[in-house]
């Protein structure tokens, strides 16, 4: 049972899915994720998740889905709770993390917040992979200095691009069974999973060269569990890392 009294509502708005949870006393109680399009297509789903509860003390949001989604979210919280959400922005430095981007505000806010979460949940240097609509990988040293990162298409984007860019590669969304597949749809699944795993392993090796042998790989995002079995390096899955970062920010910020 989610306890709303005195809680902060933490919302991770991705391009495809929105994850949320209640943060209180240093803990997160995650709620049921829903499709991001719900914000402008299906307000009833939001009502089922949120409306019957007490208003939270604050709403913190990491939003990468655009301005229209942000307006829909703000309209909902204002209408039902009289509460304006705080939309987190990437900063040059804060919460123990120093941003490596030449224009710090251009770092995706989900990456920034995940780095904040990682900084406060894992000691030592890390390689952080967020496996969602896009796959992002970032490196950070033991003092919280971000080194930079890479962005690649996520599994579904890779698969859709193959189908869209060719005339003879059907994709039926079949399950992955073997690395060397014997029919086309399975080969697409296998190929994209191996491409993602190879990217993560290559980035991890580069991070370890620069940061040392204590570097650890953290996985988050909706496709982390699908990619993880193919990895041949040690890793830890932190499914709620963006929410953990939002909680850390909520703890150290006054409600606006």
Known catalytic residue at 110: yes
87 contacts 63 by C-beta, under 8 angstroms: yes
Exposed, middle or buried, 140 (CB in 10 Å: 0-12/13-18/19+)? buried
* Phi, psi angle pair for 87, to nearest 5°: -90, 115
- Among 110, 130, 138, 223, the active-site one is 110
Q: What is the 3-state secondary structure (H, E, C) of the chain?
A: CCCCCCCEEEEEECCCEEEEEEEECCEEEECCCEECCHHHHCHHHHHHHHHCCCCCCEEEEEECCCHHHHHHHHHHHHHHHCCCCEECCCCCEECCEECCCCCHHHCCHHHHHHHHHHHHHCCCCEEEEEECCEEEEEEECCCCEEEEEEEEECHHHHHHHHHHHCCCCCCCCCCCCCCCCCCHHHHHHHHHHHHHHHHHHHHHHHHHHHHCCCCEEEEECCCHHHHHHHCCCCEEECCCHHHHHHHHHHHCCCCC
Q: Which residues are catalytic?
A: 110
């Amino acid at each position: 049972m989610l306890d709303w009294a005195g809680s902060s509502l933490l919302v991770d708005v991705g391009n495809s899915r929105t994850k949320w949870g209640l943060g209180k006393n240093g803990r997160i109680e995650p709620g049921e994720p829903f499709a991001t399009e719900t914000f402008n297509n299906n307000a009833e789903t939001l009502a089922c998740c949120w409306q019957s509860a007490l208003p939270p003390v604050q709403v913190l949001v990491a939003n990468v889905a655009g301005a229209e989604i942000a307006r829909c979210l703000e309209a909902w919280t204002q209408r039902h709770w009289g509460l304006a959400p705080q939309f987190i922005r990437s900063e040059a430095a804060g919460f123990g993390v120093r941003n490596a981007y030449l224009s710090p505000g251009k770092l995706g806010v989900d990456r920034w917040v995940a780095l904040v979460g990682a900084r406060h949940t894992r000691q030592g240097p890390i390689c952080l992979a967020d496996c969602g609509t896009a796959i992002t990988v970032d490196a950070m040293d033991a003092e919280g200095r971000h080194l930079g990162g890479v962005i690649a298409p996520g599994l579904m984007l890779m698969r859709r691009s193959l189908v869209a860019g060719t005339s003879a590669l059907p994709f039926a969304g079949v399950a992955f069974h073997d690395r060397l597949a014997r029919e086309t749809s399975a080969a697409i699944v296998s190929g994209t999973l191996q491409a993602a795993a190879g990217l993560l392993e290559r980035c991890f090796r580069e991070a370890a060269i620069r940061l040392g042998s204590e570097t650890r790989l953290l996985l988050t995002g909706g496709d982390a569990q699908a990619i993880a079995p193919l990895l041949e390096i040690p890793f830890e899955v932190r499914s709620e890392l963006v929410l953990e970062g939002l909680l850390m920010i909520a703890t150290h910020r006054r409600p606006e």
